[in-house]
Structure 1
Amino acid sequence: MSSDKPETAGQQGKIGPEEHEENWRRLGNEEFDVVVIGGGVTGAGVALDAATRGLRVALVEARDLASGTSSRSSKLFHGGLRYLEQLEFSLVREALHERELMLNRLAPHLVKPVSFLYPLTHRIWERPYTAAGLLLYDRMGGARSVPGQKHLTRAGAQRMVPALKRDAMIGGIRYYDAQADDARHTMTVARTAARYGAVVRTSTQVVDFLHEADRVAGARLRDVDDGRETEVRAQAVINATGVWTDELQRLSGGRGRFRVRASKGVHVVVSRDRIVSDSGLILRTEKSVLFVIPWGNHWIIGTTDTDWNLDLAHPAATKKDIDYILEHVNTVLATPLTHSDIEGVYAGLRPLLAGESDDTSKLSREHAVARVVPGLVAIAGGKYTTYRVMAKDAVDAVANDVSGRMAESITDKVPLLGADGYHALVNQIDQIAAAHGLHPHRVRHLLDRYGSMVHEVLALGEQRPELLKPIDEAPNYLRAEVVYAVRNEAALHLEDVLTRRTRISFEYPHRGTECAEQVARLIGEELDWDEQRVSDEVQRYCARVRAERESQNQPDDQAADATRVAAPEAREELVEPVS
């Protein structure tokens, strides 16, 4: 285990076991300017924004970083073509500006260009109509870091995507957006916040708020792994809990100025060889759009858009959801996909601002910031791509609660950890690979996950060469990545590593069960688990996978939810907040 002291580790953005314990002490003993509740991308972004303004910041998350919506998105940094059609020009412009920042300055190691083919199906009007929209899209985003649109005949589109039925289109237009591993990106935002002084602690649930007169003055916290409780005091608290926003607002005793509605989005994952294509696809549906997104050796296909009023932590995909996706994608594929082609499935919840419409696909993706009670601000809505703007607005909203003059937001100038030096390392891939006895393709994969922190991962193999070997049954990942996740990336449970630090849970047909014991033993060596704890972690994880598989055979949300929630929680001390 690393011997770095917490203060040194904090400068490096390290969030390991020592920091986990030290940060519990700090939460109880220090007073903060801002406490952020929620470790999704918005909460992590708020912590980074506040910390880089010079504020004393703490971020607490009941489960794991990105354990909710922020690990279950379509994994795109995009303006949103359908929002353009809905005339939400300001939202699209803002999102495309953020896409450009990520690609160029803030996270070039994590965010990459990705192409999509838009198949045309109507003669005369559709091509100029779509071209005009894409021209506006390219102009809004500057199209500096991605190529502009390219028009294709039917034959040209067929060459680009041979998997399409010949009669499924009359031509096509290729355009570019960007994509990222959402869970990895969120975790890196949180680590960057720690690098600039934020106290970041997972497995830390807010169970009540502290009050002074009519103000919120902090929160009562519970460690959901061991049941300890403490109190953290702050001048302002920011509720960035996404679909849990209303629950936290009730806990505070304030009514709030908006409600959040959960919309379920389901994605399925199939092997890359099941769809022969050099580009992703975007397809119109009767309600919205369906994406076929390249993802390493896989395709991610989604999403659905339906109301969800059941368990917020574990939204469940149903057979109906999966059938919907297969039915729509098969309308254009020459070789249809079947249930047996599906290697992984995941479901997430979008936090939409309620009230605009009964149709979730038409609810606004704009975000809102509101003062719930003095000392407590809530932020909700928005989309993953605009997390940095949302964070800025949330911190601006507590300016009157925090003593002293607040500096302006500077996160548009703060690269995430791993960004600095990334491009130079790309040019050195062959030398790095040779020095560590790895294939250059492996080093490229690592660079696109860790950026310039890749040397920290590879250094683990110097004392223990076996760590530079692949995980059995999940060879896309090295064993060193598991150890690094525990020492540096706040991973505390087997589920954290298999589901979010890696994406083994949906990238392999076994969904992580066949490598669970090996990974648990690697984690256990770092966290001093005994045999019983290793066994418990494996059993809990496998029970989760069984419950998810069974839920995906259920006909409706109620049956799927009942099946999924029967699986045990990795964090056993989670409690229902007192309302």
Structure 2
Amino acid sequence: MRFSNKFRNEQIEHLKKEKFDVVVIGGGITGAGIALDAASRGLKVALVEMQDFASGTSSRSTKLVHGGLRYLKQLEVKLVAEVGKERAIVFENGPHVTTPEWMLLPLHKGGTFGKFSTSMGLRVYDFLAGVKRSERRRMLDAAETLLREPLLKKSGLKGGGLYVEYRTDDARLTIEVMKAAVNKGAIPLNYTKVEKLLYQNGKAAGVQAEDLLSGTKFNIFGRKIINAAGAWVDFIREKDDSKTGKTLKLSKGVHIVIDQSRFPLRQAVYFDTPDGRMIFAIPRNGKAYVGTTDTFYDGDPAIPAMTAAERDYLLEAIHYMFPEAAIAPNDIESSWAGVRPLIYEEGKNPSEISRKDEIWESVTGLVTIAGGKLTGYRKMAETVVDLVINQLASETNRSYPKSNTRNMPISGGEVGGSANFPEFIKEQIKNGVKAGLSSMESEQIIRMYGSNAHLLYNISQSERNRHVLPLKLFAQLQYALDYEMAATPLDFFFRRTGALLFDIEAVQKYKMAVINYFAEYFHWSEKIKEYRAAELDAEIINATKLGGK
């Protein structure tokens, strides 16, 4: 069965009839990783997500697979070592959604970092994280630093440190992991809300779910229930009457996007601000994005938005480090805000709270995983599934295999490894050109979809005479509907393509054609079509307004 909402009714029937080994609540990167790990070990896996997959934190991050440099400052040595090694695994298993990016750490007189301490810190980081030789840190003098990024503040510049981070598309990474789980037999369903937990003999044994697209309610039963709901973890714990001890505290992060015609950033930069925080400025496909803020957040985690104060904070940070750029509020094309679920520690501000993950098990057997980082999703999943499998083994007297995701390409990752990916791109471009795409469009598709690019080329080949949408955009749209379970135009423009964040002009230009195609594909009534159009417009306004109160 294709991973498509075209087959939603059949998927719901399957969820109703089967008894699963594992039911996962939450379709962000953590839930997707758990579904893949469990399904790849032969477990029967169901997953439900209240919104779209990756609609929470997993589409609203700084879009970096961090190596954990900031944790070195907090002396979390073990975490640096683990996260650094996991980053390499994420890259190897999905080089189409993860790209090495040299990051410049400018050093100024009176700044947070000294040249010697930075050099030693980056050297220790390289060692702990197992950074390969070609990506180890380099130290630059002031002239070399300005050659890398001429927009940097020149006053007091002493030099810079150069090290590698890995840039990603967080939402697409999540979708590719989810698709890999589907290929292993998992059944994930988006827009499916857990109304309550079901119990047998005092133990969590299932969930009552509501299909938010139809209003239908149904039960899903499983031997083990895993709460991986991210920012909503405590809501699920409340349903289980097990919200005791440690709780979550949400931290809000905001990013702004500026066209490179106004902010011609050449080099990704990680810089300190006068208040001692660290900010990223990263070039990406003709845009530059800057973030992030880090403040406690008590609002609805589903609808965070940038405020005027947060906008001004990021603009002040740009003015501080890139004074010649003279960026003004009306230079901001779009923005995004997201919340991070942190495990609350009394007396600490958001930047100081550890990003380590923790696993809790309630008296009903509900397993909850909270905290953690995008980079560590695979290891977190392995740890949770190990716990569940040990329980299942003792209960059923069966043996289960160990995790094998360390060397398992995610969907789209079958490109012969990261070292071979450049060659794979060269070989595949000609197939895209044959399908009617330009060389540039063909390469863009390969870099976004990896070894699944041929499916988009097939769509392009069969639809090359369609003129309603540009051929590349139509291929992406049809693929999102047929293979990536997109249910709404917002799913497509935000989480399947990222256009709402990085190509807002294209969203404005083609939104009605895309809405009409969704309506045709799913046989929507005029009322549903109007609702989905309004939903997309609301998110466009949210992304493009210059900051509320």
Task: Give TM class, smaller chain.
Answer: over 0.9
Tell me if 1:512 matches 2:507. yes
Q: How big is the shift at 1:93?
A: 1.1
CA distance in 2, matches of 1:295, 1:448: 13
CA distance in 1, matches of 2:160, 2:150: 13
Alignment partner, residue 380 of structure 1 = 370
CA distance in 2, matches of 1:377, 1:393: 12
Tell me if 1:156 matches 2:156. no
Worse-superposed segment, 283-292 or 50-59 = 283-292
Query: Once the two structures are superposed, what CA deviation does each residue of 1:318-339 show, in whole Å capped at 9, x if it has no partner?
Result: 0100100110121121222111
Alignment partner, residue 349 of structure 2 = 359
Given that residues 513 and 541 in structure 1 are in contact (C-alpha distance below 8 angstroms), is that contact kept between their aligned partners in structure 2?
no
Tell me if 1:198 matches 2:186. yes
Q: How big is the shift at 1:471?
A: 4.6
Given that residues 208 and 220 in structure 1 are in contact (C-alpha distance below 8 angstroms), is that contact kept between their aligned partners in structure 2?
yes
Unaligned runs of 5+ in 1: 1-5, 7-13, 556-579
Secondary structure, aligned partner of 2:293 = coil
Letter in 2 for 1:438: L
Choose the corresponding residue for 1:222, options 201, 207, 210: 210
Tell me if 1:101 matches 2:93. no
Letter in 2 for 1:377: V
Tell me if 1:248 matches 2:236. yes
Alignment partner, residue 9 of structure 2 = 21
Q: How big is the shift at 1:143?
A: 2.4
Q: How does 1:458-537 map onto structure 2 within 5 Å?
A: 458-466=457-465, 471=469, 478-510=473-505, 512-537=507-532
Letter in 1 for 2:513: Q
Given that residues 513 and 542 in structure 1 are in contact (C-alpha distance below 8 angstroms), is that contact kept between their aligned partners in structure 2?
no
CA distance in 2, matches of 1:301, 1:191: 30
CA distance in 1, matches of 2:543, 2:265: 30
Q: How big is the shift at 1:73?
A: 0.3
Q: How does 1:434-453 map onto structure 2 within 5 Å?
A: 434-453=433-452
Q: How does 1:107-506 map onto structure 2 within 5 Å?
A: 107-122=94-109, 126-144=114-132, 147-167=135-155, 169-285=157-273, 286-333=275-322, 334-402=324-392, 403=396, 404-421=398-415, 423=421, 424-466=423-465, 471=469, 478-506=473-501
Worse-superposed segment, 334-343 or 304-313 = 334-343
Letter in 2 for 1:520: I
Q: How big is the shift at 1:486?
A: 0.8
Structure 1 runs of 4+ aligned residues shifted over 6 Å read none
Alpha carbons of structure 1 residues 374 and 535: separation in structure 2 relative to 1, 3 Å = closer
Secondary structure, aligned partner of 2:43 = coil
Given that residues 138 and 161 in structure 2 are in contact (C-alpha distance below 8 angstroms), is that contact kept between their aligned partners in structure 1?
yes
Secondary structure, aligned partner of 2:135 = coil
Letter in 1 for 2:360: A
Alignment partner, residue 542 of structure 1 = 537
Worse-superposed segment, 273-282 or 211-220 = 273-282
CA distance in 2, matches of 1:433, 1:56: 37
Letter in 2 for 1:418: G
Worse-superposed segment, 136-145 or 294-303 = 136-145
CA distance in 1, matches of 2:194, 2:363: 17
Given that residues 206 and 220 in structure 1 are in contact (C-alpha distance below 8 angstroms), is that contact kept between their aligned partners in structure 2?
yes
Unaligned runs of 5+ in 2: none
Query: Once the two structures are superposed, what CA deviation does each residue of 1:533-561 show, in whole Å capped at 9, x if it has no partner?
Result: 333321231133335555x5323xxxxxx
Query: Once the two structures are superposed, what CA deviation does each residue of 1:250-298 show, in whole Å capped at 9, x if it has no partner?
Result: 0112234421110000000111233334310001132431001122111
CA distance in 2, matches of 1:294, 1:387: 25
Q: How big is the shift at 1:80?
A: 2.6
CA distance in 1, matches of 2:349, 2:14: 45
Letter in 2 for 1:222: E
CA distance in 2, matches of 1:133, 1:529: 57
User: What is the TM-score normalised by the length of structure 2?
Assistant: 0.93
Letter in 2 for 1:314: I
Secondary structure, aligned partner of 1:355 = coil
Alignment partner, residue 47 of structure 1 = 35
Letter in 1 for 2:204: V
CA distance in 2, matches of 1:20, 1:248: 24
Q: How does 1:553-572 map onto structure 2 within 5 Å?
A: 553-555=547-549
CA distance in 2, matches of 1:91, 1:272: 35
Tell me if 1:60 matches 2:48. yes
Q: How big is the shift at 1:202?
A: 0.7
Letter in 2 for 1:49: D
Secondary structure, aligned partner of 2:508 = coil
Query: Once the two structures are superposed, what CA deviation does each residue of 1:209-261 show, in whole Å capped at 9, x if it has no partner?
Result: 11112101100010011110010111100000111111100011223442111
Letter in 1 for 2:485: A
Q: How big is the shift at 1:429?
A: 4.0
Letter in 2 for 1:300: Y
Letter in 2 for 1:536: Y
C-alpha RMSD of the superposition: 2.0
CA distance in 2, matches of 1:273, 1:280: 16
Query: Once the two structures are superposed, what CA deviation does each residue of 1:414-471 show, in whole Å capped at 9, x if it has no partner?
Result: 110111136353131442243123222211211111101101011112222146x795
Q: Identical aligned pairs, as a percentage?
A: 33
